[in-house]
Amino acid sequence: MPGLFENAVKQFEKATRFFKVSDDAKKTLENPKQIIEVSIPVRMDNGKLEIFKGYRVHYNDILGPTKGGIRYHPNVDMDEVKTLAFWMTFKCAVVGIPFGGAKGGVIVNPKKLSKQELERLSRGYIRGIYEFIGPDIDIPAPDVYTNETIMGWMADEYSRISRKLTPAVITGKPVSLGGSKGRDDATARGAYYIIREYAKKHNLDEKKLRVAVQGFGNAGYHIARLLHDDGYKIVALSDSKGGIYTKTGSLHPDSILKVKQEKGMIDGVYCRGTVCDDIEHEDVTNEQLLELDVDILIPAALENQITEKNADRIKAKLIVELANGPTTIEADEILFKKGVTIIPDILANAGGVSVSYFEWVQNRAGYYWELETVQERLKKLMVMAFEEVLKAREEHKTSFRTAAYIYASKKLVAAIEAKGTEEFFRRG
C-alpha cells in the first residue's frame, strides 16, 4: 500500500499531465533535498533521562529558504514529515511567497510533559538541528501541539548558541519577542477570505450556510469564530475526544472554547449562560461529524480523515481543508465525481505561512506592522491566489486541487529549468 509521501507525489504527477515538464524538474520535485534525524536527550522532572527522536526535512529551496512548522505528536514519523515538507513547497508557490518547503517533528506526547520538560525538549531540538536552520536557510514555525511559547524558547535557544539576537530564525513567536500581529488566527483567516470569495462568486447567502468543523484547535476555533461572526450557522464542532451537533440554531465558538479550557474537552458539554441555554445539541464522534448534512465541511485536524471508506457518505458540497492532507487521493476522486468542491490544503491553509513570511520580513527589517496592515496584505495574497487557481481550474476543466498543483508546479518547474535541463546541455 502506498505511503503518505507516495500519494502526495501523485498529486504533483497528476498536475504535470497538463503542461510540459522536463525530466530534470520532475526528478527534482519528487525527491527531498535534505533530511536530518536527531536524538534529543531530556532530563525529566523525576531525574530520569529520556531520549526523544526528532526530524527536519528541507524539501526544496528553488524559490527561497525553506519554511515549515514543527509538530509534537506521538505518531510523527519520517514519511509524515517528508510529506508535510512536500506540501509546504507547493503551498508557498501557490501564494507566491519566496520560500521553499520544510517541516519538522518530534515523536512525543506533549500532554504528558511538564512545562519544564517541554522547554528542555524544545531547546534540545534546536541544539540538534542548529546548523540545519537559519534566517537564510530554513525558518521553522508552530504546527500541531506547538505554539508561540515553544517558538519563543526555540528562537531564544538559537540566539544563545549563535551569541546574537536572531528573531528571524523562527516565526510564530509571541509579539513581545518579535512575533507578528495577526499570526494567531492567520491560518483560519486565510481560509475565511477564500470562503468569502467562493460564496460571493456563487451568490451564496452566508446566513443560510451550515458549517461543520472537525478539529477545535487554534485553526478550528478561529475559523468557527470568524464564520460565526459573519452569520454562518456553525452546527457542529469536535476535538480529539468527540464533538457536538445542533440541528437548530448555531453553536457559539467562544463559549465552547471556554468550556473546553475548563473541562479539557467539548464532548458532551456545551456552554453556560444566555448565549446558548436554548440551543439543543447532541454528541457526535469525529467520524460522524464528517458525514453530517451541512453545506461546508472544514477538516481542521490531522491527515487522512476523509477516505474511500467514508467519501460516499459525505454530504457537504464544499470542503475547505484547513488541516494538511485530510483527504486521501482515493477519496479525492470519489468526491470529484460526486460534484463536491474541495478547496485544497495547499491553498486553503496557506494563511499561516503567509503571515509567517510577513513576520520574517518584519524581523529582518526591524520594522513592525499594525494588525490592519497584516490582515489587509494577507487578504490580498489569499484572494489573488484563489483567483489564479480558479483560472487554472476553468482552463484545464479539473478539480481545485489539481489546478492548485498546476499553478504552483509551473512556478517551481520554471525556476528549476532556468538553471538548465538535459535538453539545454545536450545542445552544447
Which whole number is the average pLDDT over 93-108? 97
Q: What is the pLDDT of residues 325-376, one digit of tens each?
A: 999 999 999 999 999 999 999 999 999 999 999 999 999 999 999 999 999 9
- pLDDT bin (cut points 50, 70, 90) of residue 424 is confident
What is the architecture of the domain spanning 186-348? 3-Layer(aba) Sandwich (3.40)
What pLDDT digit, counting tens, does each position of 71-87 carry? 999 999 999 999 999 99
Give the 3-state DSSP-derived string for the chain, with helices as H, strands as E and coil as C: CCCHHHHHHHHHHHHHHHCCCCHHHHHHHCCCCEEEEEEEEEECCCCCEEEEEEEEEEEECCCCCEEEEEEEECCCCHHHHHHHHHHHHHHHHHHCCCCEEEEEEEECCHHHCCHHHHHHHHHHHHHHHHHHCECCCEEEEECCCCCHHHHHHHHHHHHHHHCCCCHHHCCCCCHHHCCCCCCCCHHHHHHHHHHHHHHHHCCCCHHHCEEEEECCCHHHHHHHHHHHHCCCEEEEEEECCEEEECCCCCCCHHHHHHHHHHHCCCCCCCCCCCCCCCCCCEEECHHHHHCCCCCEEEECCCCCCECCCCHHHCCCCEEECCCCCCECHHHHHHHHHHCCEEECHHHHCCHHHHHHHHHHHHHHHCCCCCHHHHHHHHHHHHHHHHHHHHHHHHHHCCCHHHHHHHHHHHHHHHHHHCCCCHHHHHHC
Q: Is the pLDDT of residue 7 over 60?
A: yes
Q: What would the pLDDT profile of 305-329 be if each residue is shown by its tens digit?
A: 899 999 999 999 999 999 999 999 9
Report the pLDDT value the prediction gives residue 279, as an integer from 0 to 100: 59
Q: Which pLDDT score is estimated for 2?
A: 67
pLDDT value at 162 more than 80: yes
| 112-139 mean pLDDT | 97
**How would you classify the pairing of strands 49-60 and 66-73?**
unpaired
Confidence at residue 55, expressed as pLDDT on a 0 to 100 scale? 98
Residues 171 and 180: their CA atoms lie apart, in Å, by 8
pLDDT at 270: 43
Pick the closest to residue 88 from 115, 56, 119 (CA basis): 56
Catalytic sites, residue numbers = 103
Q: What is the mean pLDDT of residues 273-300?
A: 78
pLDDT of res. 212: 96
Say what the pLDDT of residue 265 is: 53
CATH top class, domain 34-177: alpha beta
Contact 211, 245 (CB under 8 A): no
Looking at the predicted structure, is the pLDDT value of residue 12 above 80?
yes
Q: Summarize pLDDT for 29-57 with one digit per residue, the tens.
A: 999 999 999 999 999 999 999 999 999 99
pLDDT score for 237:
93
**Residue 114 half-sphere exposure toward CB, CA atoms < 13 A:** 8
Count CB-CB contacts under 10 A for residue 85.
31
pLDDT of the residue at 241: 80
Choose the weakest-confidence range: 5-9, 145-149, 282-286, 334-338.
282-286
267 pLDDT more than 60: no
Amino acid residing at 308: E
Q: To the nearest whole number, what is the mean pLDDT of the chain?
A: 92
Q: Is the per-residue pLDDT at 266 higher than 80?
A: no
**Over 70: is that where the pLDDT of 428 sits?**
no
Question: Distance between CA atoms of 318 and 52, rounded to whole angstroms?
Answer: 40
- Is the dihedral angle over the CA atoms 275, 276, 279, 284 positive or is it negative? positive
Residue 174 binned pLDDT confidence (cut-offs 50, 70, 90): very high
Do the domains at 34-177 and 186-348 have one common CATH topology? yes
Predicted local distance difference test score (pLDDT) of residue 264: 58
Q: Where are the domains of the chain?
A: 34-177, 186-348
Higher pLDDT, 240 or 175: 175
Q: Which of 98-102, 201-205, 212-216, 250-254 has the lowest mean pLDDT?
A: 250-254
Pair type for strands 100-107 and 66-73: parallel
Q: Decide if pLDDT at 26 tops 60.
A: yes
pLDDT score, position 426: 78
At 402, the pLDDT band (50, 70, 90 cuts) reads very high
- Per-residue confidence band for 277, with pLDDT thresholds at 50, 70 and 90: very low
Residue 275 has pLDDT above 60, yes or no: no
Q: Check whether 180 has a pLDDT greater than 70.
A: yes
